[in-house]
Amino acid sequence: MMYLHRFNPAASAVHALVAACVLSAVLLASFLIVEPTVGRAQASDTSTFTITQKITDESSFLVDPTDVYMQGSINGVSGGQATGTTQFVVQSNNATGYYVEIAFFDNVGQYAMIGTSSGSEAIHDYDDAGGEPSYGFTASTAAQFAYTVTATSTTDLDQSFLNNSLGAANACNSSGGSQFPTGPHCWKSPSTSAFKIIDRNSAAISGATSTITFQVTVPSNAVPVPQAENYVATATLSLFTQ
């Protein structure tokens, strides 16, 4: 028995149209993958701009210096010596660093230390080297008050507190010098004029520590003899960016 299939022109046309659409879609997709810019409109003009964020300098005392109570009392007639220290920590994001100055309060008198009861100035300012720290603590017939500075990093110190004790002559204000090896050597007279003690040329993100050591020395039978009372000096640290 023979079966005959009737030819349907409409169905064939639909099949041909679908095949053509599929082929066109495949070709178009392939073309866009190869040339993606063809799928976007071309810019008729361009304009470039920038985005800026300013980061400000942040330099401050992470740890402030505290009041100093000298270690031990000193006999007024037979004399003696006492020291005391305070530390401060500076934090700074300034790439070129910072410096710190110290100045002592003007008591409207001749010396930085003054008796709290009588106003006595029997403790004189240390006699340094013409306004610069002197090597060693030079004795005097009078009671004296002086300070010196050390730092965790020697390069943080102002040159005036660096000594060349390993050289032929002992001296302070020594370029390339040291703050040791056997302890602080460079002692400075307190002054109402600001004096640079720290001079750092880089940032200190995690903080940089410095120490100020004060010393009062009273010789036996000092002239004048200090009265029996507390003597106080007031100092201020100022921080500046480089």
- Give the pLDDT confidence score for residue 184 in this predicted structure: 74
Q: Which of the four pLDDT bands, split at 50, 70 and 90, describes residue 108?
A: confident
Confidence (pTM):
0.80
Query: Percent of the chain at pLDDT above 70?
Result: 81
Mean pLDDT, residues 220-242 = 98
pLDDT of 15 over the 80 cut: no
Tell which residue, 123, 120, 101, has the closest CA to residue 192. 101
Tell which residue, 192, 231, 204, 201, has the closest CA to residue 93. 204
- Give the pLDDT confidence score for residue 113 in this predicted structure: 98
Distance CA 161, CA 150 (A): 8
For the stretch 27-72, pLDDT in tens is 666 655 656 555 567 889 999 999 999 999 999 999 999 999 999 8
102 or 26: which leads in pLDDT: 102
For the stretch 172-205, pLDDT in tens is 998 888 887 666 789 999 999 999 999 999 999 9
Distance CA 127, CA 110 (A): 13
Which H, E and C letters describe 7-74, residue by residue?
CCHHHHHHHHHHHHHHHHHHHHHHHHHHCHHHHCCCCCCCCCCCCCCCCCCCEEEEECCCCCCCCCCC
The amino acid present at 222, given as its one-letter code, is: A
pLDDT of 143 over the 50 cut: yes
Distance CA 77, CA 146 (A): 20
Domain ranges of the chain: 59-241
